[in-house]
Structure 1
């Protein structure tokens, strides 16, 4: 792959960087702009979103005909990393999970009629959305095809949904939902994806699950389906294509998480490096100490490793590959990197890092979920091992040009 980015992408990256510096970071520094769940207050968010729209920095990941800029995954990797220099950044540009992944999969899989009804309101920032798949034990987790218990029984021209889901990100503030439920016992074609509204009869939020935090807007909720009816026209793709739909959504969504986490990792280094240059101990500037230099040097290297893994996976996706190996490697590495970057930065900052005087403790608590969401580390390593067993030495190859 060519590591040179286009002048257009670089222009957007620089504009995003200036926007975050001038508009987002000042709000992040003032705790008055945080809500009760430690995210940006919605009124403050809407003000920034209006400015981002006005500057043409909105939904860059989508095709131009959908309302974006058609950046592809490589362009997204460059820009998302810049957006998440601030913990508030992705939401400002309408590039935060779960809306980000939901918009991209609806753009790929929905009919024109479904796009108008279900996708465009999210693109326009009028509503938020949620992806509903994970279930409490013994239901669906990393193995939805084999373990999903939520059922959808077809009766005439509609489906009746019954079941329970949990850790559904954003559900408390979502209007549009993509639900995956079981329609048969077929191991490959047993799941189906549905679209429904928050106000659909038979759907309710049982609780907003308390977490280590901080939380995305809408939290992580446990929800219940008690005979909710969905008309056949609100099936996404076709009956039995639910597993296909999840694979279409989750691969790219895992990678966009990594793009954003790289931005947060760099922010940790930025805060630690600034403090190390300012702080004296025993007559010596911290940045002059070899131990500090080694810690920050190692983080810089690991961030660059993560950027290369992410960019290779992004490039592969843009070439039409599923990039399963590449995405799994990026996911494991960057998730662990984020946690380590926050930990090291807090250690260098000492008590200041542990306090709320910086965003480091926010990032540290947020980072612990990175090794769990969209597949735990262990699951991705098992996937990589299966590929290794199947491919042998072919696991490590370069694409040959014609």
Structure 2
């Protein structure tokens, strides 16, 4: 196993780190730079996005012919971690969810016409996008087979009826990828569609308030009461919706982990800086064994998370769906992020609980990590299914030149 990275990837990582340090981090301390939903104001974000694009730090996850750098998942893991040292970072480099996963899906399976119509504007940064899958009970959540929203073919178009919720970014999005039921077939009953904000027959019912800070466009409930989508706007083929979700969600779960590692490291950074300067009862916090144990434990768990993420990224780059590897990374890193924020707040005391640092922002944001893209328990069941199937081969090393 080779844990070195290519010089080109290290060069980009270093440039991203410098951009974050010099251009983005200073903005976090001023409340005037935030919008009403506790994210960076879009006018400020647009200026930074222009700067990042001018420096070539843009859409690194995509192929060069699409407008990216062709880094693959391993290169993304290195760079995304550096981007998310700032709570504002991923958006600035056009690597934030849900655009990130949508772009990778469209690049992988879209027709050339679809890439020009639906992908290129997201890559250019001129529009935002949204992925429309999750439904209220009794519809589909972590289990897409439960999806109730229907798309009924009528001539050369499909008519969509149903309800979706917690659709990230919907209020700001222009391009949407929708997963709906087109038949009762358990494997081929779902289809993915592309539609535009201006098409009639659907509406945003409400923007759902959440515990933490929100992505731009929020988390919305959508109602479809006759949206008509031309057959040419099917993504892949009719019945390939489940396959499309698998292609999108596996890498998207891992990119979340890549970003969360950056936030976890930021929590440690803030905690260490405060512990080094804060004195109580005649001793620096950094010199107390209890603090050293807390920080040492976090450092170890962050490194475990990085190894899990890198192994999953390596497997994806080799053409595997890496379901087992992604699930392990997702559970570990989601819980790590929550622990990192909690520990850093504890070390900072009242300062950590205040808005004088971004720790409370990260803490509220972190709680969703154990829910989005599959709750912990769903991924743990996936891992147990692999264990039942593979037995002791669950932990098998892959031999060079052998069967995978």
Q: TM-score, normalised by structure 1?
A: 0.99
- Secondary structure at the aligned position of 1:172 is classed as coil
Cα distance in structure 2, aligned partners of 1:88 and 1:142 = 27
Cα distance in structure 2, aligned partners of 1:56 and 1:141 = 37
Post-superposition Cα deviations, 1:144-202, rounded to whole Å, max 9, x if no partner, equal 11x11000000100000000000000000000000000000000000000000011100
Long gaps (5+) in structure 2: none
Cα distance in structure 2, aligned partners of 1:158 and 1:116 = 21
Taking the TM superposition and a 5 Å limit, the aligned residue runs for 1:161-176 are 161-176=160-175
Aligned to 1:188: 187
User: What is the CA distance between 1:47 and its match in structure 2?
Assistant: 0.6
Which 4+ residue blocks in structure 1 deviate beyond 6 angstroms? none
Cα distance in structure 2, aligned partners of 1:9 and 1:180 = 35
Aligned to 2:61: 61
Aligned to 1:378: 377
- Secondary structure at the aligned position of 2:65 is classed as coil
Cα distance in structure 1, aligned partners of 2:291 and 2:26 = 28
Post-superposition Cα deviations, 1:117-149, rounded to whole Å, max 9, x if no partner, equal 00000000000000000000111111111x110
Q: TM-score, normalised by structure 2?
A: 0.99
Query: Quick check: 1:97 aligned with 2:73?
Result: no
Taking the TM superposition and a 5 Å limit, the aligned residue runs for 1:270-289 are 270-289=269-288
Taking the TM superposition and a 5 Å limit, the aligned residue runs for 1:297-312 are 297-312=296-311
Query: Quick check: 1:339 aligned with 2:343?
Result: no
User: What is the CA distance between 1:29 and its match in structure 2?
Assistant: 1.8
Long gaps (5+) in structure 1: none
User: What is the CA distance between 1:31 and its match in structure 2?
Assistant: 1.3
Aligned to 2:294: 295
User: What is the CA distance between 1:213 and its match in structure 2?
Assistant: 1.6
Cα distance in structure 1, aligned partners of 2:62 and 2:14 = 19
Post-superposition Cα deviations, 1:70-97, rounded to whole Å, max 9, x if no partner, equal 0000000000000000000000000000
Aligned to 1:28: 28
User: What is the CA distance between 1:203 and its match in structure 2?
Assistant: 1.2
Cα distance in structure 1, aligned partners of 2:400 and 2:313 = 18
Aligned to 1:158: 157
CA RMSD, Structure 1 to Structure 2 (Å): 0.4
User: What is the CA distance between 1:19 and its match in structure 2?
Assistant: 0.3
Taking the TM superposition and a 5 Å limit, the aligned residue runs for 1:128-277 are 128-145=128-145, 147-277=146-276
Query: Quick check: 1:46 aligned with 2:51?
Result: no
User: What is the CA distance between 1:280 and its match in structure 2?
Assistant: 0.2
Cα distance in structure 2, aligned partners of 1:372 and 1:256 = 15
Cα distance in structure 1, aligned partners of 2:278 and 2:28 = 23
- Secondary structure at the aligned position of 1:178 is classed as strand
Post-superposition Cα deviations, 1:334-370, rounded to whole Å, max 9, x if no partner, equal 0000000000000000000000000000000000000
Post-superposition Cα deviations, 1:260-309, rounded to whole Å, max 9, x if no partner, equal 00000000000000000000000100000000000000000000000000
Cα distance in structure 2, aligned partners of 1:358 and 1:165 = 35
